[in-house]
Amino acid sequence: MKILITGVAGFIGAHCAHRLLSAGHEIVGIDNFNNYYSVQLKKDRINWIATQSGDLKLHSQDIGNKEQTLEIFSNFRPDYVIHLAAQAGVRYSIENPDAYLESNLKGFLNILEACRAFPVKHLIYASSSSVYGANQSTPYDIDDGVNHPLSLYAATKKANELMAHSYSHLYKIPCTGLRFFTVYGPWGRPDMSPFLFTDAIQSGKKLKLFNYGNHQRDFTYIDDIVESITRLLQHPPQTNPDWDAKKPAPSTSAAPWRILNIGGSQPIELLNYVALIERFMGKKAELELLPLQPGDVLATSAETKQLESLINFKPMVSIEKGLEHYTNWFKSYYL
C-alpha cells in the first residue's frame, strides 16, 4: 500500500511508520519538526525508523502550507492517509491558543482538501479522548455527548470530527476519527505523564500530582494503538443504511464516516500508576499533591466494543507490562 503519514516524527507517527515499513508498504512522511518538545527526540525517532525498518521518504514541511501539502499528494498519490500531525497538549492550549488554530484547524483543512483533490481509499485521523470533556459517565462510549470540551485542544479535536464529516458527506471521503486514550511507550512524548513522572522519580525532583493524585486515566500502550491502526486501514467506513436522521447516532453517518475509541480499558489512579513506576525505576517519588487544574478531566475510560467488533482485536498490553517496557527504554535512552 501507498500510505502517507503526517506527524511522522511524532510518537504515534514514528511507530506507525516503523510497523508499516517493516511490513513492506511504501511510506511518505510529513513533519515540521516544531519545538513544542525536543527536536532531537523527533530526529532520533526518524533515525530509529531508518535503521530498523527501511526507506522512509520524509518531507520536512508544515501541513499548514496548503500548496506544499497538495504538491506532496500530487507527487505521491497515496492510497491511504494516517493524519497524526497536530499541536498537542491540554495545558499548552491555555497558554498558546493560536498554535492550535494554525495546526489543528487550518492544517487539517489542508489535509481534507488534499484528499478531495487526490481521492484516497481511507483517511484515518487522530481525535482525542479529551473531546468527552465535562461528561463524567464512564466508560466513555462513542455515542456519548461531546459538546462540552474543557480546553481549546479538545475543542479543535471535536472540530476535526465535524470537518471530516462535512467532507465525507460532500465528497465521499471515507474518514475514521480515532479518540486516543493517553498513549504511552518507548519514544513517548516528554510532555506526557509517563515521562514527567519517570523523569521526576529518576532525578529526585518533586512530582506534581494534580487533584491530589486522584485522577484516573485509561493508559494505552503504543503497540496496541499501532496494531489497531494497521488493521483499520483496510476497513474504511461505509455509509450506514440504518442511520436515522430523526434519531442520529453521533458515531456513524449516512456518509462514509465514523468515530472509534482506542483505549486500554484499564483505568488506574495516578497514585497507583506512580507506585508502579517507582517499582520499575527502583526509586521512591517525592510527591507534591496539588488541587485540580483548569481543563483537567477527572477520569477517562474507553468503551471499545465497536473497535473490537470491526477489527477483531482488543488492546491487550497490561499497564504493568507496558510500564516495564517504557521504563526500560527510558533508562536506555536518557540515562
pLDDT in tens, 287-319: 999 998 876 778 889 999 999 999 999 999 999
Cα 67 from chain centre? 25
Residue 95 pLDDT: 85
User: What total number of domains does the chain contain?
Assistant: 1
Chain centroid offset of residue 332 CA: 24
Q: At what angle do helices 11-22 and 39-52 cross, to 10 degrees?
A: 10
Spatial separation of the C-alpha atoms in residues 310 and 332, rounded to whole Å: 37
**pLDDT of res. 199:** 97
Per-residue pLDDT, 93: 87
Question: In this structure, how many other beta carbons lie within 10 angstroms of the beta carbon of residue 7?
Answer: 25
For the domain that residue 26 is a member of, what is the CATH number? 3.40.50.720
The pLDDT of residue 85 is 97
Domain residue limits at 271: 2-334
How confident is the model at residue 136, as a pLDDT? Answer: 79
Q: What is the pLDDT of residue 297?
A: 75
Task: Name the phi and psi angles at 176, rounded to 5.
Answer: -120, 120
Over the Cα atoms of the chain, what is R_g?
19
The pLDDT of residue 71: 98
Closest CA to 274 of 224, 200, 184, 186: 200
Model pLDDT for residues 145-174, shown as the tens digit of each residue: 999 998 899 999 999 999 999 999 999 999
129 secondary structure, DSSP code: G
> Among candidates 64, 55, 59, 70, which has minimal Cα distance to 17?
55
> Which residues participate in catalysis according to the annotation?
153
pLDDT at 195: 96
Dihedral through CA 18, CA 22, CA 23, CA 27, nearest 10? 60
What is residue 170's predicted lDDT score, i.e. its pLDDT? 98
pTM of the predicted structure, to 2 decimals: 0.95
Q: Which amino acid is at 312?
A: N
Q: Which residues 6+ apart lie within 8 Å of 4 measured at CB?
A: 27, 28, 29, 30, 72, 73, 76, 78, 80, 81, 82
The reported pLDDT for the residue numbered 124 is 98
For residue 311, what pLDDT is reported? 97
| Angstrom distance (rounded) from CA 147 to CA 222 | 28
List 287's β-bridge partners, or say none.
207
Instruction: Point out the residues of the chain with pLDDT beneath 50.
Output: none
